[in-house]
Amino acid sequence: MESRGTMHRRDFLTPFFNYLYIENKSKPNQASNDTSPSLLHSISSSQSAMDSQTLASDLSKGRPVGGTEFSWCQAVPGGTGITVLAILLSRPVSLPALQSALQSLQTFHPILSAVLAAADTPSPHLSIPSPPPPLLLHRLPAANLLAAVPSAFHLHSLLEHELNQNPWSEPANETTVFFATLYELPEPGRSVLSLRFHTAVCDRTAAVALLKELLDRMGGDSGNSGKGQAEGVMLGIEDLIPKRDAWKPFWARGKDLVGYSVNGLRASNLRFDDAGSDRASRVVRLVMSVEETRGLLMACKAREVKLCAAMSAAALVAAHSSQHFQTNQQKPYLVGTLIDSRKYLEPVLHDNNIGFYHSGIINMHGVHGEEDLWELANRCQSAYSDAMKNKKHLTDIGELNFLMCKAIENPHLTPASSLRTALITVFDEPVISESSKQEQYLGVEDYVGCSSVHGVGPSIAFFDTIRDGQLDCACVFPSPLHSRKQIQELVEHMKRILIEGGHLKEGELK
């Protein structure tokens, strides 16, 4: 079993007291939106007045990063937070049309033209050059990267390659946040288009919207381009949370901060295969048939639980089983649920408001190995629902960002310096998509979108899509901390649990 990092009581408490001291400087009768982790590096930081400065400034020129964006600025150099959308194309690509479509995306979404400046300082900011430089589309032959790789795995291999390309890992004055590469496959006319983003400016919802816009533009349809983007660069999530939903009493904030920290130290983890070697993000795919997916969704509906709760429960059962504990030996595991918070903000944002507007909920669940899938799924659902009712996805953003940054700065505070903050992360809602005539016309054969996790993060991050009625999930994990064989076996066990759980018994369908 892995060894846990140790720390002195004083080291454990001091960062929390500093955090609470800064939080207490806010007025008690208003929300404390100014919870940027950058404040924890310097109380006199100019970002302490970020709200008023940003609102008064011309956003078309850029702005300082918000608290959540700052945590991504800290995480990405270590390998977590590289978002990739990889598209397999079976027909020749018109390069002028592709270049024009990409340039159009930047025009209507100025944040994609941004450069990240001073990213390795306490005060990074997103700057929009004037005029924005044209996006450089890289064209690369993929033959050398795909040597000895069967053609069926070309998309998978190039996706993993892109997840581990990290232009933000080295200190630089300015680095762009968006890269596009067209890989020409050995088969004539076939290629993989990769769009790679700094996660601070592109969450999963934004990536899905950009995929649709890109395909529309490549097909000559730009009727919906720019919707909701006339205001240019949007504010960060902390600056858009209604004050009534963000405020939390001082002692409640301290209690939650210590509670999250203690739970992190208590939580169990998957067995670590190699905790000392350099890491990279790898992907295992979980795909269910249309019939299997329909059965699972009907079972979820009949039991009034979300798909994410069922997936969490199946992953917990499979993970606990993989460690071969003694019968009924209960272990606690952390599950992170990511929520698209656009509809909770003021003003309400649309899906194509590009940026990072997800928040998170962390829950701990005890598993002893004898649970029924739906028993555990109900517990996951109940914990998620209670947290949402208490608006934890809005009130706890600052605490989770703070702890994420502290883990990055002090890896030894995590088990075996693994930087694991949870067993798994899931999204509260899957992406639902249907193949279109536009995709067929352009030769879109397959696509996968996900983000890297080999710095700070979970042991497995699930990026689920229901595409043409099939559950298709990219399961991203840090390697060699966990081996591909280990994760593949866990995911296959999880799939069997979900398929079996999708078999409704008589009288269960409402």
Q: What is the pLDDT of residues 104-159, one digit of tens each?
A: 999 999 999 999 988 888 889 999 888 888 888 999 999 889 987 888 899 999 99
CB 453 within 8 A of CB 470: no
Write the DSSP string, 178-196. EEEEEEEPSSTT-EEEEEE
Write the DSSP string, 43-78. TT-GGGGHHHHHHHS-GGGEEE--HHHHHHHHHGGG
Write the DSSP string, 448-460. EEEEEESSSEEEE
Write the DSSP string, 484-500. HHHHHHHHHHHHHHHHH
Type of residue numbered 339: I
**Spatial distance between the Cα atoms of 381 and 178, rounded to a whole number of angstroms:** 36
CA 104 to chain centre: 25
Identify the pLDDT of residue 3: 39
**Spatial distance between the Cα atoms of 467 and 323, rounded to a whole number of angstroms:** 32
Q: What tokens were used for 487? A: 């994760």
Q: Where are the beta strands (DSSP E) in 122-162?
A: 125-127, 137-141
Pairing assessment for the beta strands 125-127 and 115-117 based on DSSP bridges: antiparallel
**Spatial distance between the Cα atoms of 202 and 232, rounded to a whole number of angstroms:** 15
**Spatial distance between the Cα atoms of 74 and 77, rounded to a whole number of angstroms:** 7
Using 50, 70 and 90 to split pLDDT, how confident is the model at 41? very low
pTM for this entry: 0.88
Using 50, 70 and 90 to split pLDDT, how confident is the model at 48? very low
Identify the pLDDT of residue 152: 86
Type of residue numbered 102: L
DSSP conformational letter for 280: E
Q: Show the domains of the chain with their CATH numbers.
A: 32-218 (3.30.559.10), 241-501 (3.30.559.30)
Q: What is the largest CA-CA distance in the chain?
A: 65
Between 147 and 466, the higher pLDDT residue: 466
Report whether pLDDT(34) > 50: no
Hey, which residues does 360 pair with through a beta bridge?
338
Q: pLDDT tens digits, residue range 65-92?
A: 999 999 999 999 999 999 999 999 999 9
Angle CA 98–474–462, to nearest 5? 125
Using 50, 70 and 90 to split pLDDT, how confident is the model at 171? confident
Ranges 5-14, 41-50, 172-181, most confident: 172-181
**Spatial distance between the Cα atoms of 281 and 182, rounded to a whole number of angstroms:** 21
Report whether pLDDT(19) > 70: no
CB 182 within 8 A of CB 138: yes
- What lies within 8 Å, CB to CB, of 373 at 6+ separation is 310, 313, 314, 317, 497, 498, 500, 501
Between 370 and 486, the higher pLDDT residue: 486
Rg of the chain taking only CA atoms, in angstroms: 22
Q: Where are the beta strands (DSSP E) in 289-443?
A: 331-340, 358-367, 420-427, 431-433
CB 16 within 8 A of CB 7: no
Identify the pLDDT of residue 386: 97
Identify the pLDDT of residue 507: 55
Q: pLDDT tens digits, residue range 384-412?
A: 999 999 999 999 999 999 999 999 999 99
Identify the pLDDT of residue 24: 44
Q: pLDDT tens digits, residue range 237-273?
A: 999 999 999 888 888 888 888 999 999 989 999 999 9
Q: What tokens were used for 341? A: 């918070």
Using 50, 70 and 90 to split pLDDT, how confident is the model at 40? very low
CB 479 within 8 A of CB 280: yes
